[in-house]
Amino acid sequence: MRIVLDILRRAHTDAAPYRQRIPFETEDAGATVAAALTAINAGGIPDEQGNPVEPVRWECSCLQKKCGACAMVIGGRPRLACDARLTEFAKKGSVTVEPLRKFPVIADLTVDRTVLFENLRRMTVWLTQDAPADEQTADAAYDASRCLQCGCCLEVCPNFCAGGEFAGAAAMIPAARLVTELPAAAQKPLREAYSRRFYAGCGKSLACRDVCPAGIETERLLVNSNAAAIWKRLLRRRKK
Amino acid sequence: MHSIHIIGAGLAGLSAALTFAEAGVPCNLISAQPSERAQSVLAEGGINAALDTMGEHDTPAEHFADTVRGGCDLADENAVKHLTESAPEILRRLIALGVPFNMQGDVPVLRNFGGQKKKRTAYARSSTGKIIMNAMTDAVRRYESAGLVRRYAHHSCLSLLTERGCCKGVRVLDRYTGASADFYGTVLLCSGGLNGVFPEKTTGTTQNTGDLTAAAFAAGVQLGNPEMLQYHPTTVGISGKRCLVTEAARGEGGRLYILRGGEKWYFMEEKYPELGNLMPRDVVAREMYFVRQNPECGGQVYLDLTALPEETWRRKLSDLRKELTDYLALDPKADPIPVEEGIHYFMGGIDTDCAHRTNLAGLYAAGECCSQYHGANRLGGNSMLGALLGGKTAADSILAAEGIPETAEKPVWQPCSDPLAAEVPPAEAAQIRDILLGGLGIVRDAASLEGALRQLTEFAAVPHNLRTQNRILLGEAMLRGALARRESRGAHYRADYPARDDAAFRKTTVAVYDGSTVQITFRQLPEKGGA
């Protein structure tokens, strides 16, 4: 099959963006955008006009949906390139591939997601004392531990902008593990940060719910965390 | 600025950073990508510790015996003793950090894993690595906020700064700006395995290039057992890589078979009645290789998980099922999985002693980049344990040897002119991979190894960039190590020397580059109770 990757490119942060259409041919019906980018960067594939293609800057690591490195906007939606089959996204033989829009572009499809990690520090997402081992909270803690910090949820969030006070689901989810596991008395700084940096800014659009590449049940964690952090209802006290 | 530099922010790097921070000592944590993207998040099945929560009277001594036997008596037994005796405390610490293992009340449930006679592997469904990494990342974040751990999370380490046999620091590239800077001080490499040497043919990440190990080797750092590559028995091909089907699938009852005369032949169960499908990985991978060559057999080995109960899928292997469904369009509850052996782990690597010191003063190594703990074959469940203990032990050694570091000068960033900044061109990476795989398969012999060496020498004769030259040297060390070890042991099986030869080869293969040639020698294992 032949599919054209229509890539929004930029040589560096301050350079003007431009589009480049690069045809990719493969026999693999399951080929992903990641596979296409890897093949393009191996060299030898000219663009549609026959011009040589400079390597496309993009980030990847695990290539199996477990690290979040390759998040980008594919066919208008935030997705992991390793999880985006070309056949799923192709329209009239072409797939648009663009960098995430909520973060500064470094080059091509590489964006600077430092703000994700700064927000986790601002939210004081860490334990302040040992967590009591508890079978009852393990399920929610497990789900909350699976966040990839890819940024897809922030891409679709109407309330998030990089540099703003609202930290979004990418901070709420990791925080959910701690508000689930810690006794209330140990949560004061986290609860305060949660209230200010998440609860106060979340418009409950739940746009994050449908885009999480890890399939985390955002809504369930949000409800639980609001109950624990804002209303101080601890999960382990709830009857099963 | 601080003067301890940890290279790599996976499990070993985080463990080291946490150790320094808890001692009140600042460090730099330098990694090409944030911890969330490290290869450690791919670990699936679990982590071993003789916690004895399953009523089987397990002990660290049995964990020790299984690990040494699984490694075919090639591991430093002092290091393994430290590993297995430390394991229960490491697990308790992870629980205290809030890792949501599968629990029964307030103790973790343990599962069977390969090469071990008792249930010893704690797990968080089938994403144990990701779940442990999340808790460790949270724990380190507290000290980032306090200024004790300073993250450089889009920074590659290009090379070591060496002077008269000592490591004086590292050269670091900012991948966003393209600038580089020299960081002077003590260096701890936690830079992972050599997956990049075999692009698309391993279960690892694209970020574990092995290029830093190659640069260190070119600078005179010794490698230990470079020929010891682990082929995991159950992997499947997906776009751009091999994807692991966790050993936990067999631990929970999965069975390997091949069709022989149209009938399912459960060859592992027939040949190894005690451990069956859960023999150590080297044995299973080799048996799969041999049954595939059998003219009576169908050529494809299957992993049959269809008899696993719903509860097991839901509570223990939920992520595996989703992965297989997503990538193979196959429901493992209904259909057997066609599996093949794939490169999964590098037992060999930078040669260190028990304290994780290398042969260069001021340079330490831990985690998969170093050759400690696993001998000729790693047991499933021991890699995360080795990374956690290795990082901590290396940090403790640095603190004991170097004391509290003095504040160093701030590094000066400047446009990078280091020739190592240029990557190995993908086409050349594929050529090197194919040459090496010609010699370093599951079954090896002198002819294939010498053939691969000849091809590598021819390939090296044309001009290459410096990073490619280093990778060629690293590949040569692997091939020469495999050629010199004229016996079969663990992951290293020589068709022309099928027997194990303890008298000549129960020794560490040591590879060193003297500036012109790659030399291979064999070193006696340390005395038990020695250093």
Q: Token pair of B475, please?
A: 């590949």
The phi and psi torsions of A8 (rounded to 5 degrees) equal -85, 115
Predicted confidence at residue B405, as pLDDT, reads: 60
Q: What domain count does chain A have?
A: 2
- Domain endpoint, select from A50, A85, A111: A111
State how far the Cα of B416 lies from the Cα of B402, in Å rounded to an integer.
30
**Which chain B residue has the Cα nearest residue A173?**
B134
- Give the residue from B221, B114, B119 showing the smallest Cα distance to B162: B221
Q: Which domain holds residue A35?
A: 2-111
Residues A202 and A221 in one domain: yes
Query: Angle, nearest 10°, between helix axes B211-218 and B466-484?
Result: 80
Do A223 and A135 fall within a single domain?
yes
Q: Measured on CA atoms in the order B318, B322, B324, B325, is the torsion positive or negative?
A: positive
Q: Which pLDDT score is estimated for B410? A: 81
Q: What is the DSSP letter of A210?
A: G
Q: What is the pLDDT of residue B70?
A: 97
Is 90 exceeded by the pLDDT of residue A231?
Answer: no
Which of B14, B22, B37 would best serve as a mutation to test chain A binding (most A beta carbons within 10 A)?
Answer: B37
Q: How far apart are CA B246 and CA B203, in angstroms?
A: 11
- Please enumerate in sequence order all residues whose Cβ is within 8 A of that of B411, keeping only pairs 6 or more positions apart, or say none: B1, B172, B181, B182, B183
Q: What is the pLDDT of residue A237?
A: 47
CA proximity to B391, closest of B356, B362, B360, B361: B356
Q: Indicate the helix (H) or strand (E) that contains B20.
A: helix B11-22
CB contact under 8 A, B107 and A146: no
Q: Does residue B315 carry a catalytic annotation? A: no
Is residue B349 over pLDDT 70?
yes
Maximum pairwise Cα distance, chain B? 71
Q: Which two tokens stand for residue B53?
A: 């929560």
Asked if B339 and B296 touch (Cβ cutoff 8 Å), the reply is: no
The reply to whether A106 and A122 lie within a common domain is no
Looking at the partner chain, which of A62, A127, A135 has a beta carbon nearest the beta carbon of B138? A127
Lowest mean pLDDT among B5-9, B237-241, B511-515: B237-241
Q: Which residues of A touch B41 (CB under 8 A)?
A: 62, 66-67
**Model pTM?**
0.97
- Partners of residue B99 in chain A, C-beta under 8 Å: 145
Q: Which of A76-90, A132-146, B303-317 has the lowest mean pLDDT?
A: A132-146
Measured between CB atoms, which of B98, B142, B240 is closest to A34? Answer: B240
Same domain as A122, residue A69: no
Helices (H), B366-493: 383-402, 426-439, 446-460, 466-484
> Is the domain of A152 the same as that of A185?
yes
Which of these is catalytic: B171, B242, B250, B281?
A: B281
Residue A238 pLDDT exceeds 80: no
Complex ipTM value: 0.96
A64 and A133 housed in the same domain: no
Domain endpoint, select from A70, A92, A111: A111
H-assigned helices in B245-382: 248-251, 267-271, 281-293, 310-315, 318-328
Domains of chain B are 4-197+201-211+347-415 (3.50.50.60), 234-343 (3.90.700.10), 422-524 (1.20.58.100)
Q: Do residue A138 and residue B100 have CB atoms under 8 angstroms apart? A: yes
Do A72 and A154 sit in the same domain of this protein? no
Residues of A in contact with B205 (CB under 8 A): 61-63, 67
Query: Does residue B464 surpass a pLDDT of 90?
Result: yes
Q: What is the arithmetic mean of pLDDT over B488-500?
A: 98
Q: How many whole angstroms separate alpha carbon A77 and alpha carbon A83?
A: 12
Query: Are A201 and A123 members of one domain?
Result: yes
What's residue A138's pLDDT? 86
List the end-to-end C-alpha distance of chain A, in Å, as a whole number.
52
d(CA A36, CA A24): 6
In this prediction, residue A212 has a pLDDT band, given cuts at 50, 70 and 90, of: very high
Q: Is B359 exposed, middle or buried (0-12, 13-18, 19+ CB in 10 A)?
A: middle
Distance from CA of A48 to the nearest CA of B (A): 22
Whether A25 has a pLDDT exceeding 70, the answer reads: yes
Mean pLDDT is lowest, of B57-71, B245-259, B516-530, for B516-530
CB B450 within 8 A of CB B483: yes
